[in-house]
Amino acid sequence: MLAFSDVINFIIWLSIVMIWIAIALWPAKVASRKGRSFLGYFLLSLLFFPLALILAYMSTDRTAPLTSYTAPSLPPEVSP
């Protein structure tokens, strides 16, 4: 039979793990919106949350359309 303190300890540890997983979803969701791997950032954030969060926010957006460069037009020729 489990003692009352064992049950309380289990509930506390289970709560900590659930909060840890919920917080690890943050960088994964940010990376996913930018076209990056959700699973990769989720696993990285489980181990190194601050690094994953910084990388997720600093990564380029793969879903944004590329803008083409247009050269500036030259002024019209001035005739003498």
Q: What is the pLDDT of residues 11-70, one digit of tens each?
A: 999 999 999 999 999 999 999 999 999 999 999 999 999 999 999 999 888 887 767 767
Cβ contact 57:50 at 8 Å = no
Sorting pLDDT into bands at 50, 70 and 90, what band is 79?
low
Distance of alpha carbon 2 from alpha carbon 21, whole angstroms: 27
Rounded mean pLDDT, 69-79: 70
Sorting pLDDT into bands at 50, 70 and 90, what band is 76?
confident
